Structure 1
Amino acid sequence: MVHKVGVLSDTHLPRFKRLPEALWEHFADVEQIIHAGDLSVLSVLSELETIAPVVAVQGNVEYDEVVEALPIKREIQVGFCRIGIVHILGDSKYYARNALVEFPRARVVVFGHSHVPYNKEQDGLLLFNPGSATDRRRQPTCSIGMLYIDDEALSVRGEIIPLAS
């Protein structure tokens, strides 16, 4: 079985008025959604839950309601794959080291914060940042991500999906 998991981060609502419309199209057939923090308000989760079940962590720019409701980090299992989720993973040169310290048994670590998409395998660990769904900052476009977890092949692949400007 191949599991399809939608991934997003740094939505910063209500500063940005709404989630991008393209999200519903891209995430239409996912079995789960991961939000890697900086949602800012909890209503983002209920909106995403109209698509699929959501797992989220708090970021560093959150209203109190988010801080009170969500953990700083968490680990989930999708098929054979253990996925660690945290908002801030530190400096890019230390991503792999920090990921292994935080999630020593994970196959994938999903993170956000930088607004810079990142999709790299290092020593059997996939490090995955979808970028920001609403705030491109210095990137050419906003972006979201997709994880494809294949239980039969025991493989996982990440895809960064640029959104139209």
Structure 2
Amino acid sequence: MRILILSDTHMPKKSKQLPGVLLNEMDGCDLIIHAGDWQSIELYEKLKKLAPVEGVYGNTDNVELRAILKEKILLEIKGFKIGVVHGHGKGKTTEKRSIEAFINVGVDAIIFGHSHIPVKKFHNGIILFNPGSPTDKRRMPNYSFGILEVTDKLIFNHVFFHSKE
């Protein structure tokens, strides 16, 4: 199973369209996971035409998106439990807030966003993954998103690129 992971697309404010490299990777994916800050229902609808979509809302998402999405979700994929949350809030770091959102849940991985900083690391046996942003890299050297291959294990990787065209 091949899953595309996005966060912090901020469309149409930061980009009018998804980057070409991202669209190419969507071809043949089994699922799209978005960790919030979509910023428009139009992007949600567009992604749903390409593959099944699971996602959460972020702090910049409007009432329309908040009506159809939750603040956090727990996905079960091929026996693995994957928590998805945007990670915004007060106090602590984005990473710590994301971990706390799934404390005592028994997840295998947590996908989060908000900081626009790509992260792939282990914390107490849990994979923490932030795909970064494909449209708003801020101070990062590259734009990015993630690919998750689900076999008998979870294999997370980033796709880094220089232009959001």
4+ long deviations beyond 3 Å:
none
Tell me the matched-pair count. 159
Number of the residue aligned with 2:4: 6
**2:99–2:110 CA contact under 8 A, matched in 1:** no
The Cα of 1:95 is off from its aligned counterpart by 6.0
Shift of 1:127: 0.4
Unmatched tracts of structure 2, length 5 or more: none
- Cα separation, partners in 2 of 1:67 and 1:92, compared to 1, 3 Å: closer
Offset at 1:126? 0.6
Between the aligned residues of both structures, percent identity stands at 35
Q: Report deviation, 1:42.
A: 1.1
**Deviation sequence 1:25-73 (CA, Å, 0-9, x none):** 1121211010000001111112112321000100000122111221100
**Contact 1:59 / 1:87 at 8 angstroms: preserved in 2?**
yes
CA contact (8 A) 1:96 1:122 kept: no
Aligned to 1:110: 111
CA–CA distance in structure 1, aligned partners of residues 114 and 98 of structure 2 = 16
Whole-angstrom CA distance in 2 between matches of 1:95 and 1:129: 13
Q: 1:64 to 1:94 in 2, by over 3 A?
A: closer
Cα distance in structure 1, aligned partners of 2:44 and 2:62: 13
The one-letter code of the counterpart of 1:94 is: K
Normalising by the residue count of structure 1, what TM-score does the alignment of the two structures yield? 0.88
Cα separation, 2, equivalents of 1:97 and 1:53: 26
Q: What's the counterpart of residue 133 of structure 1? A: 134
| Aligned-partner Cα distance in 1 for 2:19–2:42 | 15
Who is 1:94 aligned against? 96
TM-score when scaled to structure 2?
A: 0.88
Any conservation in 1 of the 2:87–2:95 contact (CA below 8 Å)? Answer: no
The Cα RMSD (Å) is 1.8
Judged with a 3 Å threshold, the aligned counterparts in structure 2 of structure 1 residues 99 and 158 are, in CA distance, closer, same or farther, namely farther
